[in-house]
Amino acid sequence: MKNPSIKTKAKITAFRINNGQRYAVFQLEKNQKQIQIPEELLKTYAHPSPEIKVEDEYYLVGFFNPERGAWYFCPDLQHHPKKCDANSSTQRGISQDELYRACKPYSPPSPEQVMRDFSIYSQTISPEQRVLGLQIVASSKSNDDLVRNLTVFMGKEDLDMIPESESDTIEFKSSIFHSANPKDQSSNHQVIISAMVGLANKRGGKVFVGLNNHGEIVGIENELQASKFNTVGDFLNDLKNRIFQLTNSHRFMSSVSLELFKTDQGKVFLQISVPKSPEIILLRGSILLVRDSAGTRQLKNHDLINFIKQY
């Protein structure tokens, strides 16, 4: 089911500083509610280098995140509402057709297909291995478990399948632009790139953007269609540029693979493949991050020194 969204017009009434970040305060017309959006995020979505000031009006798009039970708001398409006319040739945002054309189909094998493959595969293995495979079938608690466990057992690692859960090589993020914290509407790019750096400094791995903490596909298609980007290429190039800006490493930026996938239900997610780096990657020139089973963490003091010695 498509996540609900709303579109409304709002005016900047003031600016506030919170934890060193400048926020624009908006007054929603319909219910008089006030919301705060970081000035950095306004510049991300709006015209290149707009002068943001009190009394400016924006169209805002709100997306409801059922996992968090909260609404997230971002500017829609253009800096001023009068430039957001649906018939205007300057309207921005990635169209659905453009987005879907750029995506690979995500079609994991069905349980029936996997069982047929296992039937053929079982004829090529020893009786002991065959028994082990049947035990995997019997112990699988769901069709997803069956597909995943038998696929691994048969060594078909070339299949594009979403892992069951996060690990020291897997990270899930539900949004490409917004923090998972409903009180923090700042850009999520640094959080995603931090996870990438942590993976690169250990074993490598993948970041899936558009999945919640349970590995369920919630999609980023609404965000991309309401963003400042005209094409998928613009979006991917912008993300690559942000990776370079935060790591100052062309080598790392070039090694990362970005792929969009679309499910049969029209949900879009981004798969970021990160190889283990031959050199230590620092975030913002001084922050050393690593990934382990507990998540991405920053190394300091003796941990930092020991890691550099052993790398």
Q: What would the pLDDT profile of 159-168 be if each residue is shown by its tens digit? A: 567 887 899 9
Determine which helix (DSSP H) or strand (DSSP E) holds 303, and give its type and residue range: helix 301-310
Lowest mean pLDDT among 60-69, 191-200, 277-286, 293-302: 60-69
Binned at pLDDT 50, 70 and 90, residue 185 comes out as: very low
d(CA 15, CA 53): 9
pLDDT band for 83, please (50, 70, 90 cuts): very low
Give the pTM: 0.66
- Residue 31 has a pLDDT of 60
Measured between alpha carbons, how far is 47 from 15 in angstroms, rounded to an integer?
19
Q: How confident is the model at residue 24 (pLDDT cuts 50, 70, 90)?
A: confident
State the average pLDDT over residues 207-212: 94
Residues 230 and 97: their CA atoms lie apart, in Å, by: 12
* Pairwise pLDDT comparison (37 vs 171), residue with the higher score: 171
- Which DSSP category does 8 fall into? E
Q: Which of 39-43, 188-192, 231-235 has the lowest mean pLDDT?
A: 39-43
pLDDT at position 78 is 42
DSSP state of 129: H
**DSSP string across 72-124:** EEEE-SSSSGGG--TT-TT--S--HHHHHHTSEE--PPPHHHHHHHHHHHGGG
Domains of the chain with CATH codes: 5-92 (2.40.50.140), 109-153 (no CATH), 170-310 (3.30.950.30)
Residue 280 clears pLDDT 90, i.e. is over it: yes
CB-CB contact of 192 with 176 (8 Å): yes
Mean pLDDT of the chain: 81
Residue 68: the pLDDT is 57
Average the pLDDT over 204-224 and give the result. Answer: 92
Instruction: Point out which residues pair with 249 in neighbouring strands.
Output: none
Please tell me the predicted confidence (pLDDT) of residue 82: 39
Q: How large is the greatest C-alpha to C-alpha distance in the chain, in angstroms?
A: 76
Residue 58: the pLDDT is 76
Residue 64 in tokens: 């409801």
pLDDT(50) > 60: no
The total of other beta-carbon atoms located within 10 Å of residue 155's CB is 8
pLDDT score of 157: 56
